[in-house]
Amino acid sequence: MNAKLILSSIIACTLQFVLPSQAQSPEEKGLELAKKLDLANEGFISESSEMEMDLINAQNDVVKRRMSIRALEGKGDGDKSVATFSWPADVKGTRLLTWTHKNGDDDQWLYLPAIKRTKRISARNKSGSFMGSEFAYEDMSSQEVEKYTYKLLGEEKLDGRDVWKMERYPVDKRSGYTRQIVWTDKEYMNPLKIEYYDRKNELLKTGLFSDYQKHGKHWRVSKIDMYNAQTKKRSILVWKNRKLGEALDEDDFESDALED
Amino acid sequence: MLTRTAILAVIGLAGPWLVSEARAKSKWKSQGQLALEGRTFSDDANPLTVDQGLGLFGRLELEHKHKPFKEKARLYGRLDQQDMRRTILVIEELWAEWDLGPFELRVGADILNWSATEAFHPADIINARNIDSDAENYEKIGEPMVQLSTRIGRGTLKGIFMPFYSQPILPSSRSRLNFLPPGIDATELETLRLDYRGELTDSRFGPQGALRFTQTIGDADLDLHVIHHMDRSQPEVLFDLNSGTIHPVFRAVTQVGGTYQHVVDAFVFKLEAGYRWFVEPEGGTTIYGPLQERNHLQVAVGAEYGVLSDSDVEHTFILEAQSVFGVDEDIRKSLQLFQRDALLGYRISLGDVDSTEVLVSMIVDLEDPEHVFLNANFKQRFLESWSVSAGARMLFSPETTASGGINVPPGASHVRVVLTRYF
């Protein structure tokens, strides 16, 4: 009798630990993975880098965009970042300050150096093109867990690397996407490829993430090749001189600090 | 004149060389632009004014950083081939900054922009202007100042001391912006100032100061300020009956005001206001006669709404209105170009690699809606380092008077084309 009770207890305890994970829906697994990835990318404190973007049209004409980025990891909310544009020359010195929020719209300010004015702007139009490129503002902003719902599709190999394949759906109705399919590298804990589907649920563009580099315990992408399947245009974004963990002054991420 | 022309030539010819030299040193930053400006006005049947202009505009900027110090110089100049009296050279910025940890100290000439709205600027009054430039956004002239700023909580407090009055650039008798009777040249008149003591003086020195506090609170930005300075937005006029000469007069003023901007969805709502107490002449009058009582409140409100189409084209709608309270209509119209007016604007940005943009706006005098000021401008980048802009400004006014306000042609109707090379 006692042995039977002990066996029942063991089975009950085992099921308690085993069954919930087996019973997790793909959505729950997706959210769990998103949180795991977010945790792996946490703790970078700050990040600064220079970025160069090649904008290539369907005729293979290339124009360049250059900017520097400084970002401060958020405490309890999203990250803060300042992008300073350095090319083309007519926008040189223009700065964009973004306070990303886990919930709700981001806050944004634009500094116009010619008239020395800092202008508060609405961050609602996040699906708009970033500097005329194939990247949208929402692609460039901090990817907080709360901005999507998730569905894990499975595990597979991509270019010989182990990846999780996951679908995510923007929470914000004003996003330019209905869904994204993300292939996340298990070592880098970051995407290798993302397919973006437009509001009509048709493939809009594909981003290929490559040249990962390790900075301390964090992996960071150094190149994204974004190809627009509908316009046949391509934008290649490359990071240089990236530094993580520097002691940046939080006051530099206030709107009045944008002015020269 | 020769000196100015020579310096402009230096900007044009040596600017690109200086920029490339500066870039060779890592702590230097530099940029500049050189523009060819052409404009044609509608005929005003006045042989004294210049109806066509062809000018060369240049701006050069150099910045040097070596923590905790930073220095910057920015100047612009214009050489007008048709009207040499439009030829100017202006220092916008020439300052050194020292980061002292909790404080930041900046000493030197600087320009400030405290405005939140696009066309009406009650809060943006520091700095002398080039009144012979674009009416909605006059070119500014650097004011020598000492600025000390510090963080207080989540806000910033800045104190400013300005010991010198920079002289505004007044339109000459050949300019279409001339506010004096035909044939009288403001640039040749002796400008006087009613200083903080109520004394009429031609001195360029006097104490001016400001305190400004700014803070972001949730979705809103708040700015509060108090300023005491020499108002140089629009001169009053005094007549010397003995010599028969006219004196433009600027008056010291104290302003309390601020701006408030609030983002709600795709809207940005704006409020900008300032109350101004003008210094009265000692003894109630000047040696050339009395000056008008001008104390007033100026309030501007605005809203901006942006929407993005599926083709990545951004449409922005702008609505602004402004009013001046506390003075009668005649005085109100002598204060500045815009007093009780509304602006309706529409901007379309194509979101393309050339940043193509078209802005059309209409300013209507709310007291006399027959006075309408239309503006249209197209701008596009090309060959990465160049841009072209073309625009037209039209004034519909049943009459012109000398009482000020937009019932005086602000530059009158004209078309313009600007070709700019950035470096």
Residue B350 makes CB contacts below 8 A (sequence gap 6+) with: B312, B313, B356, B357
CA atoms of B354 and A160, how far apart (whole Å): 40
Side chain identity at residue A147, one-letter code: K
* pLDDT above 70 as % of chain A: 92
The answer to whether B402 and B25 have CB atoms below 8 angstroms apart is no
**CATH code of B113's domain:** 2.40.160.10
For residue B116, give both structure tokens.
Answer: 């939140």
A260 interfaces chain B, CB cutoff of 8 Å: yes
Average pLDDT over residues A230-254: 94
Q: Which single residue is written with the structure tokens 């937009």?
A: B406
The answer to whether B342 and B367 have CB atoms below 8 angstroms apart is no
Q: Which residues of A touch B422 (CB under 8 A)?
A: 88-90, 92
Domain residue limits at B57: 2-422
- Complete domains list, chain A, with CATH: 27-257 (2.50.20.10)
A52 interfaces chain B, CB cutoff of 8 Å: no
Pick the residue from chain A with its C-alpha nearest to B104. A257
Whole-number Cα distances in Å, B157 to A1, A109, B123, B209, B262: 79, 19, 16, 14, 20
For each of chain B's 423 residues, which pLDDT tens digit applies?
455 555 555 556 565 655 555 555 558 999 999 999 998 988 877 888 888 889 999 999 999 999 899 999 999 999 988 788 889 999 999 999 999 989 999 999 999 999 999 999 999 999 999 988 887 778 999 999 999 999 998 899 999 999 999 999 988 888 877 777 777 777 788 899 999 999 999 999 999 999 999 999 989 999 999 999 999 988 888 998 888 888 989 999 999 999 999 999 999 999 999 999 999 999 889 999 999 899 999 999 999 999 998 788 999 999 999 999 999 888 888 887 788 999 999 999 998 999 999 999 999 999 888 889 899 999 999 999 999 999 999 988 765 444 444 445 555 789 999 999 999
> DSSP letter at B250?
E
Is the previous residue joined to A88 through a cis bond, with omega within 30 degrees of 0? yes
For residue B266, give both structure tokens.
Answer: 């795709």
The answer to whether B37 and B420 have CB atoms below 8 angstroms apart is no
Contact assignment for B423 to A89 by CB distance below 8 Å? yes
- CB atoms under 10 Å from CB of B47, counted, come to 7
CA atoms of B5 and A2, how far apart (whole Å): 106
Structural domain tally of chain B?
1
Which residue numbers of B have CB closer than 8 Å to A's CBs?
A: 31, 33, 63, 72, 93, 111-113, 115-116, 137, 151, 154, 156, 214, 216, 219, 221, 261, 263, 265-268, 304, 306-308, 310, 312, 314, 351-355, 381, 384-385, 387, 420, 422-423
Give pLDDT, residue A8.
Answer: 60
Tell me which residues of chain A, numbers 179 to 208, contact chain B at a CB-CB cutoff of 8 Å.
Answer: 199
A225 to chain B, closest Cα gap in Å: 17
B367 to chain A, closest Cα gap in Å: 30
Pick the residue from chain B with its C-alpha nearest to A257. B156
* Dihedral sign, Cα of residue B226, residue B227, residue B231, residue B234: negative
Q: Which residues of A touch B355 (CB under 8 A)?
A: 90-91, 132
pTM attached to this predicted model? 0.88
Pick the residue from chain B with its C-alpha nearest to A121. B268
Q: Which single residue is written with the structure tokens 């305190």?
A: B211
Question: How many interchain CB pairs under 8 A, A with B?
Answer: 89
Q: Enter the ipTM.
A: 0.88
Side chain identity at residue B158, one-letter code: K
Residue B267 makes CB contacts below 8 A (sequence gap 6+) with: A122, B303, B304, B305
Q: Which residues of B touch A255 (CB under 8 A)?
A: 214, 216, 221
The answer to whether B32 and B17 have CB atoms below 8 angstroms apart is no
Q: Helix/strand/coil (H, E, C) string of A49-86?
A: EEEEEEEECCCCCEEEEEEEEEEECCCCCCCEEEEEEE
